[in-house]
Structure 1
Amino acid sequence: MKILIADDELNNRKLLRDYLKSLAHCDMVSDGKAALELFTADMEDGEPYDLVLLDIMMPVMDGQKALARIRATEKRFSEGKQGYKEIPIIMVTGMDSSLQAMQAYFKGGCSDYLTKPVTRQALLEKLRKFNLIPEDEDEGED
């Protein structure tokens, strides 16, 4: 499994990577523009991500704008492909921006969202929801 983590805070990126390192290869970027560039490159290579974790508040390009452009890129590459399944994009947000998370969820086409601080258990629940890991995957420690 291959996951893209976009968050402007290094500690947040490292935490998410540490939660996922036994399950997936994680690429990490610090802004929405870099996330879009990496996502696009991997779509062009025919090796799309299995999941994108996207912070809402980031410099250069915020998460909502990146989300819209990622979905447009995904649509462009999947046109005419039978049985194409949308890549899950989970917005990650601080409690103070839950309204923005809901807007991204309903307007921007994100698949779900998590609020910070993200726990390993909450993240694994989302992975199970999208059938990225089996139901019995070890919960481990937060």
Structure 2
Amino acid sequence: MAGGRVLRVLVVDDDDADAMMISEALEAGGAQVSIGRASDGQAALDLLRAPDDDAPRPDLILLDLNMPRMGGLAALAEIKSDDDLKAIPVVVLTTSDATSDVVNSYQRQANAYVTKPMELDAFEAAVAEINKFYRDVAILP
């Protein structure tokens, strides 16, 4: 991001290993990044609706679809219907490549849909590309 601003990312994923790999790939990008974590959609909404100095509102949300309590599609619909949250870019980052998940995500106004690659190097590269785009190319509010 221009001016050396820290990119604040909220990773919403119930899988600890995936969340750790996402965090490591984001941090490996060389730029300043602040990473928050929520283990399901409801926890993400709770964080987003009550930001504080310890957990400021993110610049970007990386959202898994298949999670307990509240899944990604329901969380995405809530985020994009909330006037205070809908401007935050949401990238769906999930193992599903089902056409219905892709279509449903975009219908709920996902900003991008990325299938998690199974190979570690490809997984890290995909997250690095997301990081690079939102850090170096996209203009965020």
Q: Determine if the TM-score, normalized by the shorter chain, exceeds 0.5.
A: yes
Cα distance, 1:98 vs structure 2: 4.6
Structure 1 unmatched ranges of 5 or more: 79-84, 136-142
Cα distance, 1:125 vs structure 2: 2.3
Q: 1:20 aligns with which of 26, 43, 53?
A: 26
Q: 1:34 aligns with which of 43, 68, 71?
A: 43
Give the conservation status (yes or no) of the 8 Å contact 1:40–1:70.
Answer: no
**Identity %, equivalent residues:** 31
Question: What is the CA–CA distance in structure 2 between the aligned matches of 1:6 and 1:98, rounded to whole Å?
Answer: 21
Match of 1:10 in 2: 16
Match of 2:116 in 1: 116
Distance 1:36 1:24, change over 3 A: same
Structure 2 unmatched ranges of 5 or more: 1-6
Relative contact order, higher structure (CA 8 A, sep 6+): 2
Match of 1:126 in 2: 130
Q: Which amino acid aligns with 2:135?
A: I
Question: What is the CA–CA distance in structure 1 between the aligned matches of 2:58 and 2:17, rounded to whole Å?
Answer: 22
Give the conservation status (yes or no) of the 8 Å contact 1:94–1:115.
Answer: yes
Secondary structure class of the residue paired with 1:57: coil
Match of 1:54 in 2: 63
So what's the TM-score if we normalise by structure 1?
0.74
So what's the TM-score if we normalise by structure 2?
0.75
CA deviations over 1:45-82 (Å, ceiling 9, x no partner): 9x421100010111000100000111222x1x27xxxx
RMSD: 2.6
Distance 1:97 1:9, change over 3 A: farther
Q: Which amino acid aligns with 2:41?
A: G
Secondary structure class of the residue paired with 1:110: coil
